[in-house]
């Protein structure tokens, strides 16, 4: 069973800054079946990125994903006020798992 480890646990940044979130897998993620979700308080998660680097429908281009194998990154190029939230990576396909989450908070 693959374990996903996200870092850092909390990222304190100001609006307009760049956010870089990491997700490391304990084994190689097949076919880059890696997704990123955003969750705000009191809401269900929302799909941002799938296939490691493809943006889901309606997701702004300030969100980008990269990586392969065991190391993946979610980058938010310029933080908007509505981007402060918790972000989860997820492996899907034959095996399913979520990372523990990274909270992006206002500095």
Whichever of 46 and 62 has its CB closer to another protein, that residue is: 46
**Per-residue contact track with another protein, 82 to 101, x per CB under 8 A?**
----x-x-x-xxx-xxxxxx
DSSP codes of every residue in 74-93: EEESS--GGG-SEEEEEE-S
Question: Cβ(63)–Cβ(46) under 8 Å?
Answer: no
Neighbours of 79 (CB within 10 A): 20
**Per-residue contact track with another protein, 12 to 31, x per CB under 8 A?**
-------------------x
Query: Which residues sit at the interface with another protein, rule CB under 8 A?
Result: 1, 31, 33, 35, 37, 39, 44-47, 50, 56, 86, 88, 90, 92-94, 96-101
């Amino acid at each position: 069973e693959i374990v996903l480890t996200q870092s850092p646990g909390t990222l304190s940044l100001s609006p307009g800054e760049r956010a870089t979130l990491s997700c490391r897998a304990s084994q190689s993620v097949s076919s880059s079946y890696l997704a990123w979700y955003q969750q705000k308080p009191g809401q269900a998660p929302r799909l941002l990125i799938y296939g490691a680097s493809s943006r889901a429908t309606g997701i702004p281009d300030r969100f980008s994903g990269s990586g392969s194998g065991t190391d993946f990154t979610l980058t938010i190029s310029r933080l908007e006020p509505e981007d402060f939230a918790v972000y989860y990576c997820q492996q899907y396909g034959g095996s399913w798992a979520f990372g523990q989450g990274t909270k992006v908070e206002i500095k």
